Amino acid sequence: MAEPRRTWKQVLSRFLLLDLIKGLLVTFKYQAPRHCYTEQYPLVRPKVAERFRGAPRLNLDPETGESLCIACNLCAVACPEDLITVVEAVREYVDHEGKVKKKRVLVDYTYDTSRCMFCGHCQDVCPTYAIELTQEFELAIYRRKDFVWSWEMLEKGIEQPIYTR
């Protein structure tokens, strides 16, 4: 039995590889998407959501430059990971009326970011808004002991790295 003869259209289609070209056109149509999702990360910092909870920071009073923390210890109690340590002392002072009063003063404050799950409970319970979780997300550190942040480091905040070529 002889094979049926091919038409000129079939021969030309096979010779010019038209089926291959049709398949490649479909492939290349999907190679260039309408929206590009690649971010040039180190050079262009991504915008995080407004409610993003990142690195912690202790806020300062803008008028006096002192810490807003009143050493109430609520943040340490509210923390489910028990990573905040607040050390306070009671100091006596004389008010404007001449009466001797006692006031709690913050002596030391440490925050272990290696165990933090950034839940925001410490920020929610603070009556003076002394502690807040910022928008900073670059928390990579080489040594484990550097994850424990002191009072001074929390007040200063994280320095944003500058990437250059």
Give 68-104 pLDDT, tens digit per residue: 999 999 999 999 999 999 999 999 988 888 889 998 8
Band of residue 1 on the pLDDT scale cut at 50, 70, 90: low
Q: What class, spelled out in words, does domain 56-156 have in CATH?
A: alpha beta
Give the rounded percent of residues in the chain with a pLDDT score beyond 90: 52
Beta bridge partners of 84: 111
- Per the listing, tokens 């109430």 go with 72
Q: Shortest CA distance to 139 belongs to which of 112, 113, 110, 111?
A: 113
* pLDDT beyond 80 at 32: no
Rounded CA separation 119/80 (Å): 9
Band of residue 113 on the pLDDT scale cut at 50, 70, 90: very high
> Reduced to 3 DSSP states, what percent helix, strand and coil does the chain have, rounded to the nearest 5?
25, 20, 55
pTM equals 0.69
Band of residue 14 on the pLDDT scale cut at 50, 70, 90: confident
Q: pLDDT averaged over the chain?
A: 88
Which residue would you say has higher pLDDT here, 43 or 26? 26
E strand or H helix at 93, and its extent? Answer: strand 84-94
Specify the range with the lowest mean pLDDT, choosing from 33-42, 55-64, 103-112, 122-131.
33-42
Q: What is the pLDDT of residue 40?
A: 80
Beta bridge partners of 108: 87
Amino acid at 141: I
Where do the domains of the chain lie?
Answer: 56-156
DSSP state of 145: G
